[in-house]
Structure 1
């Protein structure tokens, strides 16, 4: 479920007749419960989580580097999502750079609804990602937990430039998880899941 879908779900729960406000801003993402919310003004200030103690300094260094690469891919995907939602289109963004087609499906659906309703977003979400785990395998995987703060990420009517009214019961800050896979040397976001949990 994407950031936009997360807020949409809250809207449907609060008032089904507000379907036209389908993208009541994030996650997505998506966008888990262990993440704490940041009050920082930048979504790029997150530091990689420290890796567990390892048998050798080189192993620790490798684990730290992998965590940093995972966070960089996740953050890049979020920057691209934010840009896409700001114009209700993924055209000209870097969404495909770190986001798989499977994860893009929900995002593209959100964007289609936004275009139909004449809506875009203004401002930016604040993210606070942490790497929960990285698993070595033929295709390495990683899980990221996040607290998405949408306080200053506003769904706006494109024509009037006014905020779209949204239910007051929706979660403004919520827990999100992301799954990633390493394709060659590149980490890709494969799934974004917003949780019904405040952070």
Structure 2
């Protein structure tokens, strides 16, 4: 996942300030001495310095930001696949590989076999890069986040009603994931759910 900062301009305050500045400037010009006018000298307007450009983002921080963006995109595509259920038609393969993609494919196959889908969406918050090895031949980062699955449920595809499944009292817990950068793109390779760590 650059942010645009919008600067608001309060017109009701800006206009009087602008007019006051004009009046002051006019008064200064008319009160100049005759000797100044005879010499043809006039006060030169003050030129303010150009605004400084923001410092470029550190390459390591930029890489971490890209990894976090890919991680969030992964969690956008997973519920899309499970809602059909099908991997095709989603961008899941763009953001997942190896074990993470295999688990998704197995889940899709099981949902199809049992005529079920997953409705609603998981909520992922507090995604944070906990470690990074960006100088390796294959750069990688580890991300920890809080996963809330309370509004993401298995549903019978025919009836649209929640399917009877074993319930887990913990629906909001820590999940840790490993991402690697392949050919310039970050992919989720694997993840671990920590139901013993509610968040």
Tell me if both proteins adopt one fold, taking TM over 0.5 as the criterion: yes
Alignment of 1:66 with 2:63, yes or no, is yes
CA distance in 2 between counterparts of 1:168 and 1:117 reads: 18
Tell me how far 1:135 sits from its aligned partner: 1.0
2:146–2:172 CA contact under 8 A, matched in 1: yes
Pairwise mapping of residues 41-190 of structure 1 onto structure 2 (< 5 A)?
Answer: 61-128=58-125, 129-136=127-134, 137-190=136-189
* Aligned residues of 2:98 and 2:190 also touching (Cα < 8 A): no
**Correspondence list, 1:13-24, <5 A:** none
The one-character-per-residue Cα deviations of 1:91-121 (angstroms, maximum 9, x if unpaired) are: 1110110111432111111111111111101
Q: Secondary structure at the match of 1:127?
A: strand
CA displacement at 1:158 relative to structure 2: 0.5
Query: Highest CA radius of gyration, 1 or 2?
Result: 2
Partner Cα distance (1:170, 1:106) in 2: 23
- TM-superposed deviation, 1:163: 0.9
Q: Which runs of 5+ in 2 are unaligned?
A: 2-54
Partner of 1:194: 193
**Distance in 2 of aligned mates of 1:134 and 1:109:** 29
Superposition deviation, residue 80 in structure 1 = 1.1
Instruction: Calculate the TM-score normalised by the size of structure 2.
Output: 0.67
Deviations, residues 143-194 of structure 1 (Å, cap 9, x unaligned): 0011110111121110000011333434211211110111121111111211
Deviation per CA, 1:113-141, whole angstroms, max 9, x where unpaired? Answer: 11111110111110012111221211111
Q: How far apart are the structure 2 equivalents of 1:126 and 1:90?
A: 20
Deviating beyond 3 angstroms after TM superposition, the runs of 4 or more aligned structure 1 residues are: 166-170
| Corresponding residue pairs, total | 143
Which structure exhibits the higher relative contact order, with contacts defined as CA atoms closer than 8 Å and separated by 6 or more residues? 1
Q: Distance in 2 between matches of 1:120 and 1:169?
A: 18
